[in-house]
A = this chain, B = another copy of it.
């Protein structure tokens, strides 16, 4: 079964890792958000792509949730001697190796799609990792009091403190050919437990993407995994964003309602299923343990997600 997985960073990457272990990874394509990508110190940083690559390669720092394990920050400490204002975004020494290689390929005219494939190859990552766009495509946060901030400035530099009024996406980028081709041939689409507003929406908002996605969702099931557990976000600022952007408390149902009619199935934490079922009876809900602590829990959750997907595929009679 050809599975296409839409992913943001950390949480999305963890479940993707589980799915890659629970099925033939040659049948798995991840379309990864690029809205967080930004230029820093002359390098092109792709936080979500890198989280996916590092997590799937087993080189990621599991405890910290971003970057590489056993990372050092000696280059950045040196930069801080010269340019103290530049060290707000933590770039590890090994991580820099990724950014230098990427930058060099991009400067040689290689597309971000092909650069990402080469990085995945270098790290021994088996599933196809596809940027949603070859860019440019950037997420901006419109804040209540501090104007409009690029996403990483808001999230990392300002620690997500300025209150969100709206999220928008800008840039001349369109959906990448590889992402569209993956959608066109998908037999199951999985939306990872990522932030819908700043991880999944920037994928779907790309020119060319939403029509292809929605039209594919007519014939193949779309299953999401809730990033909200008992009203809280497993990681990141999502739980505070939902009341601002959807004018309702954070819940799995709020996520499903945001995605709308193309969502066929949802995997949620035990206890979050009743409210979702009652609000959105057309969504097939599966409740299980969704918080993943180790690699085995990722694989277990992945098996639940794939089982729900297979159930929906067979129910649709294909």
A residues apposed to B, CB below 8 Å? 41-43, 72, 74-83, 86, 93-98, 100-101, 103-105, 107, 118-119, 122-123
Contacts and interface: CB of A to CB of B under 8 A. Distances in A.
A41 B77 contact: no
A114 to B, nearest CB: 12
B118 A98 contact: no
The 6 closest A-B pairs by CB, nearest first: A78-B97, A82-B122, A82-B101, A74-B93, A75-B96, A93-B93
Contact of A76 (B97, B104, B105, B119): B97
A104 to B, nearest CB: 5
Contact of A77 (B80, B94, B104): B94
A81 B98 CA distance: 9
A54 B236 CA distance: 41
B75 A119 contact: no
- Most-contacted residue by chain B among A74, A104, A118, A123 (CB, 10 A): A74
A12 B105 CA distance: 36
Given A103-B42, A104-B41, A97 B74 contact: yes
Contacts of A80: 97
A278 B74 CA distance: 53
A55 to B, nearest CB: 16
A200 B122 CA distance: 42
Contacts of A75: 75, 93-94, 96-97, 100
A93 B119 CA distance: 20
A88 to B, nearest CB: 14
A170 B315 CA distance: 72
Contacts of A42: 42, 100, 103-104, 107
25 contacts: A41-B100, A41-B104, A42-B103, A42-B104, A75-B75, A75-B93, A75-B94, A75-B97, A77-B97, A78-B93, A78-B96, A78-B98, A79-B100, A79-B101, A81-B122, A81-B123, A82-B98, A82-B101, A82-B118, A82-B119, A83-B101, A83-B105, A93-B93, A93-B96, A96-B96
A83 B106 CA distance: 13
Contact of A74 (B43, B82, B94): B94
Given A75-B96, A78-B97, A83-B101, 4 more contacts: A41-B100, A42-B100, A42-B103, A82-B122
